Amino acid sequence: MTAKERRCLKRLEWIARLTPETCPGGVPTDERGWRGLVNRMVREVRGVVLELVQGSGRSGELLLHQHGGYRKLRGFQAASLVYDGTCIFCDRFISRRSRTHDQMVQAARSGRQNIAEGSMAAATSRKTELKLTNVAKASLEELLLDYEDYLRQHKLRQWAKDDPEALAVRRRFRGYPDSWFQESDKSDKPHQRLDPYEITGASAEIAANTLLCLIHQAIYLLKHQLKTLEKSFLEEGGFTERLYRKRQEHRRKNS
């Protein structure tokens, strides 16, 4: 089984393991919800089939890795929620004259932008993709400490991992409806911030804890992404190695 086939099977694992407990967004309660779940499963299977079919008639390995498509990465989506949420939080609760305001916004932005940049760099450099994805994770870990410090210094409660509020945030993110992200990408609303958790109207305690939960989700997803990238790099090598193999293959065919 090739690395590509293993990645495709990995994408379908959530369908094979679907239970009432793991159902994205919870078990549907009406016809519309069930239709949405089925459509999502169909889209996922169709995407895997297309990925396997593309390039199936070519011989040898591809010189350039598949790249881009970062908007569909769950880690990027989580980082997008964190970035917009952090902009809202800082504007509401931290003075613009404070260095902390700029540092938190920049850390959140770095987490999002480096995922995108790494995804685009993947065409010619898995090493660069690994490096930038790790930078994104490090930026979000820095931001995590800022929110923890805010709660501690303002004597506000920090939710435990298994508190009902934290579980509700994670359960809602598992559904991650596409409409959240489609709305933020509309060209006619360039200044609209992504705020499905209503950070705009939440108290400082709820807003900070909600964003902490989302940061944890983003870091968790990036850790898994890094493991996949490392494995792919070890199995397939970098651009220079693939270029060398392609040249050798070309020489053998024309000798």
Domain count for the chain, please give it: 1
Residue 155 has pLDDT above 60, yes or no: yes
**254: exposed, middle or buried (C-beta count within 10 Å: 0-12, 13-18, 19+)?**
exposed
pLDDT in tens, 229-250: 888 777 665 555 555 555 566 5
Q: What is the pLDDT of residue 54?
A: 52
Residue 104 lies in a domain: yes
Percent of the chain whose pLDDT exceeds 70: 75
Residue 112 lies in a domain: yes
Residue 15 lies in a domain: no
Q: What is the pLDDT of residue 87?
A: 96
Residue 251 has pLDDT above 70, yes or no: no
pLDDT in tens, 74-127: 999 999 999 999 999 999 999 999 999 999 999 999 999 999 998 887 766 777
* Encoded tokens for 46: 């169709």
Residue 169 lies in a domain: yes
Amino acid at 96: R
Q: What is the pLDDT of residue 24?
A: 76
Q: What is the pLDDT of residue 98?
A: 94
Residue 152 lies in a domain: yes
Residue 158 lies in a domain: yes
Residue 173 has pLDDT above 80, yes or no: yes
User: How many CB atoms lie under 10 A from the CB of residue 145?
Assistant: 11
Listed in sequence order, the residues at least 6 apart from 213 whose beta carbon sits closer than 8 Å to its beta carbon are 159, 166, 169, 170, 173
| Residue showing tokens 């070519």 | 58
Q: What is the pLDDT of residue 55?
A: 46
Residue 171 has pLDDT above 70, yes or no: yes
Residue 186 lies in a domain: yes
By residue range, what is the domain housing residue 189? 69-238
Residues in the chain, overall count: 255
Query: How far apart, in whole angstroms, are the C-alpha atoms of residue 53 and residue 51?
Result: 6
* Encoded tokens for 88: 């809202």
Residue 185 lies in a domain: yes
Helix axes 3-16, 31-53, angle to 10 degrees: 170
